[in-house]
Amino acid sequence: MITENTGEYYAALPDAGRLMGLDVGSKTIGTAFCDAGWSFATAAKTIKRRKFGQDRATIVQLIQEQAVTGLVIGLPLNLDGTNSPQTQSVRSFTQNMQGVGLPILLWDERWSTQAVERALVEQDVSRGKRAERIDSSAAAYILQGAIDALVNV
């Protein structure tokens, strides 16, 4: 199941369990996980994009290792809410991930990268370190927004 509706997503999830957030880019995929009680999201690894089958295998391995019960994938929309050039690519990626058998929530990620970049600058993280951490931190930001919404469903 793929949805943009938090109510539908919530209904498809078990009562508890870890969720995985993904920030899908053209060169990397940032990953993040939340605790089973959906309190906080934590940035995890950044996956360098290769062929889809390899990317999927890496994600499936992480799903199994972390006992993930649902996916939250950032949906890159334009600031006015319309589709961006990257939107269709992420939708295709999401369709291909549907085969892992977990409910998938597409989450509006319009401000994630800017917010994370600003936070890393405020923490005085060097430019090189920011480049390494931006995608997984954006995945955590996306996942945190989704779990904050889910606890209010």
> What pLDDT was estimated at residue 3?
92
Given a cut of 50, the residues of the chain with pLDDT beneath it are none
Report helix, strand or coil for 82.
coil
- CA–CA separation, 36 vs 27, rounded Å? 29
Helix segments in the chain, DSSP class H: 6-12, 52-66, 85-97, 112-122, 127-150
What is the second-level CATH architecture of the domain 2-150?
Answer: 2-Layer Sandwich (3.30)
What are the boundaries of each domain within the chain? Answer: 2-150
Q: Given this model, what pLDDT does residue 62 score? A: 95
- The pLDDT value given to residue 122: 63
| Per-residue pLDDT at 151 | 82
Determine phi and psi for 38, rounding to 5 degrees.
60, 40
Give the pTM: 0.84
